[in-house]
Amino acid sequence: MPKPFMNTPPKPEKLGAMTAGFLQEAFAGESQASQKYLAFSARAADEGLPNVARLFDAVAYAESTHARNHLSVLGGIGDSSENLKEAFGGETFEIDQMYPAYDAVADLQGAKEARTSIRYAKSAEQDHQALYEATRAAVQTGEDMAAGPINVCPICGHTVIGDAPAECPVCGTAGQFFRTF
Ligand code: FE2
Ligand code: FE2
Ligand code: FE2
């Protein structure tokens, strides 16, 4: 019988500054490649090329393993309580500083679509911030998050616990198109 699958990416180790910097850059690059290929897959599917879509999906997953491995070696994967705290911090930075600053510049430069993209993201980050905060409180008492569907808008990323709304309150997409996790 084959051994059961174990999630064993390369382990954290003490790194010299150059190696740590290169792994950070490679983590960013692999993450971006993975996301780019998912977007390319969706385009291929729209163009009636399901097997090209499948190729992009497969390679996107492969790139995600590279990103995960680099992050692991960098020591960026903790236990779930730590990870929820880290995730909360990232969302909070985006809400309080990053997106407000980016939006101010986009406004000055008259970048309308960029402002829409920023607004979608900032709004969804607020959903995530709240969800991570509530979930961390549960995990710290040894509980898992409550079971039940989590629904995500495919356009703006609005994230809700429970059933999808009839219409996304942020971007107007019909709830039937939400993706359920
Ligand atoms: Fe890669
Ligand atoms: Fe987020
Ligand atoms: Fe939406």
Q: Looking at the predicted structure, is the pLDDT value of residue 1 above 80?
A: no
> In the CATH scheme, what is the code of domain 17-73?
1.20.1260.10
Ligand 2 centroid distance, CA of 172 (Å): 19
pLDDT for the residue numbered 30: 98
Buried b (16+ CB within 10 A) or exposed e, 106-124: beeeeeeeebebbbbbbbb
Please state whether the predicted TM-score (pTM) of the whole model is above 0.75: yes
Query: Which residues fall inside 5 Å of ion ligand 3, going by CB?
Result: 153, 155-156, 158, 168, 170-171, 173
Ligand 3 centroid distance, CA of 128 (Å): 14
Averaged pLDDT, 14-21: 98
Edge to edge, the sheet with strand 159-161 lists 159-161, 150-152, 179-180
Question: Domain spans of the chain?
Answer: 17-73, 80-180
Ligand 2 centroid distance, CA of 87 (Å): 8
Alpha helices (H) in the chain, listed in sequence order: 17-46, 50-73, 80-93, 99-108, 112-140
**Ligand that lies nearest to the alpha carbon of residue 124, given by its number in the listed order:** 2
pLDDT in tens, 114-127: 999 999 999 999 99
Buried b (16+ CB within 10 A) or exposed e, 58-79: ebbeebbebbbbbbbbbeeeee
Q: Looking at the predicted structure, is the pLDDT value of residue 87 above 90?
A: yes
Confidence of residue 3 (pLDDT cuts 50, 70, 90): confident
Ligand 1 centroid distance, CA of 159 (Å): 29
Ligand 1 centroid distance, CA of 30 (Å): 5
pLDDT for the residue numbered 181: 98
pLDDT in tens, 27-80: 999 999 999 999 999 999 999 999 999 999 999 999 999 999 999 999 999 999
How far is Cα 67 from Cα 132, in angstroms, rounded to an integer?
22
**Ligand that lies nearest to the alpha carbon of residue 27, given by its number in the listed order:** 1
What's the distance, CA 43 to chain centroid?
A: 20
pLDDT for the residue numbered 92: 98
pLDDT in tens, 129-166: 999 999 999 999 999 999 999 999 999 999 999 999 99
**Ligand that lies nearest to the alpha carbon of residue 130, given by its number in the listed order:** 2
